[in-house]
Amino acid sequence: METGEFLLLPGKGVFLPRGGGLLGFGATRESARRRLSWFGPVSTPFVCGVGWCWHVRIADRTVTTWPGADDLLGVIIVSRSGHYAWGEHAGIPALYQGIDVFAVSMAGLDEAVAQPDDGSVSFYWPWQPRPAYVTDVTLVDVGRNPRR
């Protein structure tokens, strides 16, 4: 499957754009790094309490990952880079239930999608005095009991 967008798949992971394939929950440290290196240099930011963390920029998005308690991939964060809370259209859609979560206001997103109650998907947006747009989407493999 080749696609030009991120497909956010709760319980499975994220299907990456541009032929990057599935970044799936349960991946080992090295297989997650190899999958992300498809897009360029992978950095290693510090995340307190985790054994490893990978971060890569994909056009106007960033992807950050770290393990669950079993040291296998348990958290994936897709973020906007340089396009913040005012709804500027960004180049690579991030689709959740068929909707680009970065192109819809948070109020519109609340109406348009059903968020699981298990904490497997969460949206972040900066508080602003006018309607805010999502800047980060976090997918958690709740079955891996990840450290957050």
Rounded percentage of the chain residues whose pLDDT exceeds 70: 85
The mean pLDDT value for 6-25 works out to 95
Between CA 5 and CA 102 the distance in angstroms is 12
Identity at 25, one-letter amino acid code: F
The mean pLDDT value for 16-20 works out to 92
Q: Could you tell me which residues are beta bridge partners of residue 7?
A: 15, 95
Per-domain residue ranges of the chain: 6-144
pLDDT digits (tens, 9 = 90+) for 19-30: 999 999 999 999
Query: Which residues touch 91 (CB under 8 Å, ≥6 apart)?
Result: 59, 60
Query: What's the pTM value of the predicted model, to 2 decimals?
Result: 0.88
pLDDT at 57 over 90: yes
Q: What tokens appear for 136 in the block?
A: 């980060």
Query: Which residues touch 38 (CB under 8 Å, ≥6 apart)?
Result: 16, 19, 20, 21
Q: Pick the range with the lowest mean pLDDT from 18-27, 109-118, 126-135.
A: 126-135
